Structure 1
Amino acid sequence: MLKKLIIFFGVLMILGCGYKPVSVLTKEIIAEKVYVDVVIKKSDPANSVAIKDGIREAVIKRLNRDLSSQSDADTVIIANIANVVFVPTSFDRFGFVNAYEAQVSIDYKVKLSNGEPLSIIATGKSYFRMNRQVLDTIYTDSVITNQDRYNAIFEASKESFDELIAKLALKGYKLKKD
């Protein structure tokens, strides 16, 4: 009986304080039809493709939103790559790098459904291990493969998008309070 009473008061407190999950706040600030584009860097177009794929997947899977053309969209998200860095995180006994952290910083320009423009910088990280083959205790390959690079940037861009959503939800919460 005491357990039920504690749960009841806990739920009552959460409802009473106006708690809303991030998903609800995000739905209030990002419309159903979303346009996503990434400004392609001429110096590194492969990163741009991985980031665009990651952000689009995040919009579809995390927000359950439809992608649309820019003319039909209610919310427009334009991503500019601020920085992509690979930092060694682990070394083997011979001093070769065997794990990296991909760090992706993206400058998002977001036009919300109410027409308000926002500029938000968000960062994502992704860890990965090197896939090396050993031949007589000598490594045959100690270079990041294109697939490893793409996957790491793809995952880091999704994490960056999660940070963007959290910041947008906070913005939505502040707008509701005012």
Structure 2
Amino acid sequence: MRVTKSLFVIFVALFFVACGYRPSTYYAKQELGKDLYVRLDVSPADPKNSVLVKDAVTKILIQRVGSNMVDSEVEADIIMDLRISSVSFSTLQYDKDGYNKLYKAKVVLGVKYLDKSTSKTKSFTVDGEYDFAIDIGTTINDTQRFEAISKASDMAVTDLLSRVAVGSFQ
């Protein structure tokens, strides 16, 4: 039995290596794993959300892709522009008394980046969603709101990495 499991694991590993499989993060790292400067179009109506989104993007770019964040556009190999297109909350479920119980936060980001070495500009939109519950009979407080926006932004950035990986083939 142990031999069968071991052989199966080895077979699966060899299959993925033989096929040339690489995760999307590998291709995103090839595209964005350089000196990167992130510009943020701060929304005057909601500056706190803009900062949350930028923090989520930079955290994931550093952790997953290994980008080196620089302080100026001059030092950067890649310049990324981020814009919050929309932040919305919708009710998913009510309790038996008609109170909101479950919400969905949705963040839509506009992304544009310029690779200075190739002078190519790519732009697209990504979105992320996060479902969360609140206590019965209460409303969404600032802490829950910011956490939901942050988690939805994390999901949008994960989508961003996939889009960058796919775009690297073009």
Query: TM-score, structure 2 length as denominator?
Result: 0.85
Check if 1:15 corresponds to 2:17.
yes
Shift of residue 127 of structure 1?
Answer: 1.7
Check if 1:78 corresponds to 2:81.
yes
Amino acid in structure 2 at the alignment position of 1:33: D
CA spacing shift, 1:49–1:7, aligned 2, 3 Å = closer
CA spacing shift, 1:7–1:152, aligned 2, 3 Å = closer
Amino acid in structure 2 at the alignment position of 1:51: V
Q: Secondary structure at the match of 1:41?
A: coil
Shift of residue 16 of structure 1?
Answer: 3.2
CA contact (8 A) 1:31 1:75 kept: no
Q: Matched residues in 2 for 1:126 and 1:7: separation?
A: 34
Shift of residue 32 of structure 1?
Answer: 2.5
Q: Matched residues in 1 for 2:98 and 2:13: separation?
A: 54
1:70-111 deviations in Å (ceiling 9; x for gaps): 221212221111111101122222111122110011110112
Q: Matched residues in 2 for 1:11 and 1:31: separation?
A: 26
Q: Matched residues in 1 for 2:131 and 2:145: separation?
A: 11
1:122-159 deviations in Å (ceiling 9; x for gaps): 01011222246xxxxxx4xx322112111111111111
Q: After superposition, where does 1:57-72 map in structure 2 within 5 Å?
A: 57-69=59-71, 70-72=73-75
Q: After superposition, where does 1:155-166 map in structure 2 within 5 Å?
A: 155-166=151-162
Partner of 2:45: 43
Check if 1:122 corresponds to 2:94.
no
CA contact (8 A) 2:29 2:66 kept: no
Shift of residue 10 of structure 1?
Answer: 4.1
Check if 1:93 corresponds to 2:89.
no
Partner of 2:57: 55
CA root-mean-square deviation: 2.1
Q: Matched residues in 2 for 1:44 and 1:5: separation?
A: 55
Unaligned runs of 5+ in 2: none
Q: Matched residues in 2 for 1:3 and 1:131: separation?
A: 46
- Percentage of matched positions with identical amino acids: 26
Q: Matched residues in 2 for 1:62 and 1:45: separation?
A: 26
Q: After superposition, where does 1:98-117 map in structure 2 within 5 Å?
A: 98-112=101-115, 114-117=118-121
